Amino acid sequence: METEDKENPSSEPHKLMLKTPLKQAATSNSVLSEIQNQAGSLLTPPKLNETSPGDPWTPTANLKILISAASPEIRNREQKKRWPDGPSEVLEAKNYLHEHLSGDEYEKSQPSRKEKSLGLLCHKFLVRYPNFPNTAENNEICLDEVSEELNVERRRIYDIVNVLESLHMVSRLAKNRYVWHGRHNLNKTLQTLKKVGEENKYKQQIQLIKRREYEQEFELEDEKTGMVTTHTSLNTDLCFVELPGMEFRAASVNSRKDKSLRVMSQKFVMLFLVSTPQIVSLEVAAKILIGEDHVEDLDKSKFKTKIRRLYDIANVLSSLELIKKVHVKEERGRKPAFKWIGPHILPYTNPVPTTTTIVPSHSVECKSAKEQCSKNLFPSRGKQSFTRHPSLMKLVKTIESDRRKIHSAPSSPTKKTDSDPNPSSFPSKMAQLAAICKEQLEEPSRQLKKMKMKLTQTTMQCKLASPVKSQAEPVPSSSQTPSLVEPLGVLPVIHNSMSPAMLPHAYSGVSYAVYLHPSQGQTMTTYSPTFTLQCVSCANMTGIKTSLDANSKALLSKTTTEDGDSSIVKDDAVTEDGNFLIAKEKEVTKNDNISEKCLKRSQALLENSPIKKYKGNEKNLEDALVTLFPSVYLIPLAHCTQLGNEAVFYSKEKAAMCSSEPGTYSSSIAGLLPVTTSEVTAVNFPAFHITPLKLMVPPSSVATVPVANGVSFNSSPDNPSQSPSSSLRNFTLQHLGLISPGMQVSANPILGPASVHPETEHVSPISENVGSYQSPYLGLRRNLPSGQTGKTSEMCQTTTENFFRTPGGPTKNSSLAVSSDSKGVDEISQGTKFVPQRKLEVSTEAKL
């Protein structure tokens, strides 16, 4: 039963005409469709119901259309009517008419697939409406009308509208009627989607899938099919994400939402927003979407169907210029993928009192910011418009709570920092950690006073060296000099990879807060033993294993642009709507010259490690995902203080960019501050020689203080032998004063030799201290209940993201400079790079 025939009588002839075997007729229709569209719906039946009995699709009507299109009068009239900014459109129509009416070609040519593609149709659809419509005006959309004007089945309009609705560019008013919102809500929607995507750990899912793919490539006997297995699905079962005032009113919202195109679209977008680089292959997306739809039902046909739908969605998103098609080349061939070209959304960066963002107060801010999402999802004013999945409700509640606390002025960490540089004013947990550090280092309380002084000093230095400016500066190579800040000169400092904004402060002897970003738990940044800075989660061995695997996959899946750039970081930091920073997607690519054998070998080593026993324990894997805290940030406290009022923070993006630098060997998706061995020694741990090291560790990251270089940093994934127990042991021993802080009990018999970085030979003992120093916290972290920490991690995410945003906003340019300028490290480390990867090539193709 084709209901369209019933509900849209006038379309029936059209439909029949389309079905006609006569090529010419079909061509005419197609051309007419184009003409109608490009000319601004020249015929524009007011409404389908009001369409004149004279069917527009009769030959006579077609002729009228052509005449109308060619007539300036009619065109102008219609243009005024429908195209406020239509001159260009009229020109297009002219060209189109000229192109199609001046010859026989168009009659001979068939309407190609492209002409009828959903993407083009969506483009036509979008052209009809302004990006930012005047909300005061009537922006209603009649689907019948649109389908009529665009000369397509209404079914196709549904496809478009569903995707647009998923982005809240339209919302349903009533049957057959929608209201056009344009891009007014787009950023907010993307922001929300990103948050929800993070909450649902899509990033981890992607990595899990990639990891399994990788394992399959190496013929792990346990793997049977290429399909996603249950452990790849975190079973979040997302429902449609709403925005206030845009509650969904679709008829089938309750029954079909699970497989709804709009929900799929949202999930698809989430994948882009949470992944780094923001390239998502259809295969991975399909697996994830299927996974959430109960993987047990998965079969080939389901997969194919999902792929089809993803194509539909992707075409619309492409028309919206949010994504573009690329191809990911792998060993096995080319895979279709899409790359996010829309705004880079930094979740919940909407104007927040700057005084609330510097130091994350663990108990308050770190309850995190789902509230924003929640408020977006569910306006407090009204009732929910449709049944929502319980899990979503749960999520929303948490979000609401988090947001409330983020915006809670009294808990503002910045305030404390600004008003009182005294470390004692930090949140209690931070203070405790700092105290632990002090104790471990056998540094008396005088260090605090010293730190105060240095903070003050650094504040002045910060004023001299604008963080924003410095961020924008290219990072000098190893010879980089701390321009405005006097290096303490305690230890040699090599800045081949450090953020320029941080360097001066680093040299200034500023105390650094070591922060591990909880939101990047899956993005273990190192696999190579030679990583100079490694992020560690020793919460448990499972965590290590999982993160290692995930990271290896992340590395493997690093994409390289078609031109073969091995390190590309783009930054087009802009602001949009003044609401939040939008940075162009950063593409961080890894070196291509690392053989997979190395990876395999490393994995084999891993397999031999005690971690192996966890393999196959899917539950553990999932749990581990929650407990990973791989990213590290070194935050000059003075810097933070200084920048607090400027609402500029160190961003994980920045860190991630830095991490892309060869010298860091870090995953592009990891947030870390790339430092060389020397940097770590001299700068990042001034506490050992200069100022107290202050650990600002959110509750979720309590135990993770991963700062070290290759060898000394032996609790990293590349050192599987460094078990949590080892870390705990070291910490305990050190804490009890049984061993010195610089001592490290554990050894790395497995990867140790391979992990020797050329520079590590010159590593001072302090570096080693660093390595051992962090272990205690890893141990502490391990003691935390995984569930609790995982949740806390999430809750802290938003706050920490804000907090650690790079001064001056996204400053990936500087990172780009870093990449290009840091040849020293590159050269140094090249020989020992141990970055496993599966080379992926991304080639862009202009879809339309």
- Binding part of the chain for DNA, among 39-47, 307-315, 685-693, 700-708 by CB under 7 A, reads 307-315
Smallest separation, CB 5 to DNA (Å) = 8
Distances (CA, A) of 432 to 235, 423, 427: 37, 10, 9
- Binding part of the chain for DNA, among 105-113, 398-406, 409-417, 551-559 by CB under 7 A, reads 105-113
Comparing CB distances to DNA, the nearer of 336 and 474 is 336
Smallest separation, CB 265 to DNA (Å) = 9
CA distance 549 to 541: 12
Give the tokens for residue 797: 């995410």
Using N-to-C axis directions, what is the helix angle for 300-319 and 261-274, rounded to 10°?
Answer: 70
CA 570 to chain centre: 15
The reply to whether 302 sits near DNA by the rule CB under 7 A is yes
Show contacts with DNA in window 113-132 (CB under 7 A).
113-114, 116-119, 121
Q: Figure out which of the listed residues 47, 81, 308, 446 binds DNA, where binding follows CB under 7 A.
A: 308
Which residue bears the tokens 């930054």?
Answer: 571
Count of CA atoms in the C-beta half-sphere (13 A) of 13: 10
- Is residue 515 within 8 Å of residue 800, measured between CB atoms? yes
Comparing CB distances to DNA, the nearer of 341 and 433 is 341
Give phi and psi for 491, each to the nearest 5: -140, 155
CA distance 648 to 646: 5
Number of residues that bind DNA (CB under 7 A): 63
Smallest separation, CB 206 to DNA (Å) = 18
Q: Beta 177-180 vs 333-340: how paired, if at all? A: unpaired
Q: What is the CA radius of gyration of the chain?
A: 29
Smallest separation, CB 199 to DNA (Å) = 23
Give phi and psi for 836, each to the nearest 5: -70, 145
Smallest separation, CB 332 to DNA (Å) = 9
Comparing CB distances to DNA, the nearer of 122 and 682 is 122
The reply to whether 252 sits near DNA by the rule CB under 7 A is yes
DSSP 597: H
Show contacts with DNA in window 2-61 (CB under 7 A).
2-4, 6-8, 15, 18-19
Show contacts with DNA in window 261-300 (CB under 7 A).
261-262, 282
Q: Figure out which of the listed residues 124, 154, 267, 495 binds DNA, where binding follows CB under 7 A.
A: 154
Comparing CB distances to DNA, the nearer of 184 and 847 is 847
The reply to whether 153 sits near DNA by the rule CB under 7 A is yes
Smallest separation, CB 264 to DNA (Å) = 7
Q: 157: Cβ–Cβ under 8 A, 6 or more apart, which residues?
A: 125, 143, 146, 147, 150
The reply to whether 307 sits near DNA by the rule CB under 7 A is yes
138 φ/ψ sector (left φ>0, alpha ψ -120 to 50, else beta): beta
Among 520, 488, 531, 524, residue whose Cα is nearest residue 506: 488
Comparing CB distances to DNA, the nearer of 113 and 383 is 113
Q: Figure out which of the listed residues 81, 98, 108, 304 binds DNA, where binding follows CB under 7 A.
A: 304
The reply to whether 256 sits near DNA by the rule CB under 7 A is yes
Q: Figure out which of the listed residues 260, 664, 709, 837 binds DNA, where binding follows CB under 7 A.
A: 260
Q: 63: Cβ–Cβ under 8 A, 6 or more apart, which residues?
A: none
Q: Figure out which of the listed residues 64, 407, 823, 847 binds DNA, where binding follows CB under 7 A.
A: 847
Q: Beta 559-561 vs 840-844: how paired, if at all? A: parallel
- Is residue 398 within 8 Å of residue 377, measured between CB atoms? no
Q: Figure out which of the listed residues 70, 179, 223, 311 binds DNA, where binding follows CB under 7 A.
A: 311
Q: Beta 333-340 vs 323-330: how paired, if at all? A: antiparallel
Comparing CB distances to DNA, the nearer of 30 and 459 is 30
The enclosing H or E element of 329 equals strand 323-330
Smallest separation, CB 320 to DNA (Å) = 15
CA 366 to chain centre: 20
Show contacts with DNA in window 331-360 (CB under 7 A).
333-336
Q: Figure out which of the listed residues 124, 188, 194, 309 binds DNA, where binding follows CB under 7 A.
A: 309
What is the contact surface with DNA in residues (CB under 7 A)? 1-4, 6-8, 15, 18-19, 110-114, 116-119, 121, 143-144, 152-156, 158, 161-162, 172, 175-176, 250-256, 259-262, 282, 301-302, 304-305, 307-309, 311-312, 314-315, 325, 327, 333-336, 847
